[in-house]
Amino acid sequence: MSQVTNEEIQKLADMARIHVTAEEGEKLAESFDSIIAYVDQIRGLETDDAGAVSSAPYNQYRNDSTEAGSTYSRDIILEDMPLREEDYLKVKKIL
């Protein structure tokens, strides 16, 4: 005997606003039964003597490093600019 009935499946489907046929409802009821049986099996496990975790969690981070500086130096960039005044780039006035 199924613990979840087809009517309950239909009520859930209505609340979720999905269409479930009678055949799909039967299959879902069987799926619910297997899930409930698995949860009952897990509930029956004795965990009192399980003990603590043997290793503490640790933070693993990447060791990527970037070297100071860049492949493009400021002077090279300034040399490529068509309009400049000393160390500033000149652009056309927008307003």
Domain residue limits, the chain: 6-43
pTM: 0.41
**15 pLDDT exceeds 90?**
yes
Query: Cβ of 4: how many Cβ atoms within 10 Å?
Result: 17
At 94 the pLDDT is 82
Q: Which residue has the higher pLDDT, 71 or 46?
A: 46
Crossing angle (nearest 10°) for helices 22-43 and 6-16: 100
In which band, very low, low, confident or very high, does the pLDDT at 44 lie, cut at 50, 70 and 90?
confident
Q: Distance of CA 63 to CAs 44, 46, 56, 57, Å?
A: 45, 42, 21, 19
Q: Confirm or reject CATH 1.10.8 for domain 6-43, answering yes or no.
A: no
Contacts of 91 (CB under 8 A, 6+ apart): 83
Residue 93 has phi, psi (to 5 degrees) of: -70, 130
CA distance 12 to 82: 69
Q: Is the pLDDT of residue 38 over 60?
A: yes
